[in-house]
Amino acid sequence: MPPAAASRARPRAPTPADLVVIAVLLASVPLARVWRSERAGSTRLEIRSAAGLEAVDARIDRDLEVTGPAGVTVVRIHAGQAWIARAPCRNHVCQRMGRISGSGRSLVCIPNRVVVRFAAHDPGVDGVTR
């Protein structure tokens, strides 16, 4: 085949081996995300309120009622994730913050003075300023 004819050749359809490689790659994406989240995520959840600091295990599913100056905020923990399910504040911004599941992430209900965050793995220095 002359070089000009080779450049106009139709693309080939994927072979069965190509389809197997694509399927393996697609199947590995969710597994990689789970593995990464298990390694990077902390399992200790800290809830700070007017009553003080409470640390709980995020691997145990439950609803926690946290009392603040505006009322009761319900923090829901499920499958290693935490979110604010119900809050007494007017705009419910904290409920729309979504779910958190890793170190350094936090949820804040300012009117009720509640902060929910995953503890860092290293309780030592978390930052240096000069």
Per residue in 95-110, pLDDT (tens digit) is: 999 999 877 788 999 9
Domain that holds residue 19: 11-39
Per residue in 24-39, pLDDT (tens digit) is: 888 887 776 665 554 4
Phi-psi region of 115 (alpha: psi -120 to 50; beta: other; left: phi over 0): beta
Residue 66: which CATH number?
2.60.320.10
Q: 32 and 55 share a domain?
A: no
Burial class for 75, CB neighbours closer than 10 Å (0-12, 13-18, 19+)? buried
Q: Round the CA-based radius of gyration of the chain to a whole number and report it.
A: 24
Question: What is the DSSP secondary structure assignment for residue 96, as one 8-state letter?
Answer: G
Q: 67 and 106 share a domain?
A: yes
Three-state DSSP at 41 gives coil
Q: 27 and 60 share a domain?
A: no
Q: Alpha helix locations (H) across the chain?
A: 3-7, 16-40
pLDDT at 34: 62
Per residue in 48-65, pLDDT (tens digit) is: 998 899 999 888 999 999
CA–CA dist 74, 36 (Å, integer): 28
The answer to whether position 59 is within a domain reads: yes
CA–CA dist 85, 60 (Å, integer): 16
| Rounded to 5°, angle at Cα 98 from 116 and 95 | 75
Number of domains in the chain: 2
Q: 35 and 46 share a domain?
A: no
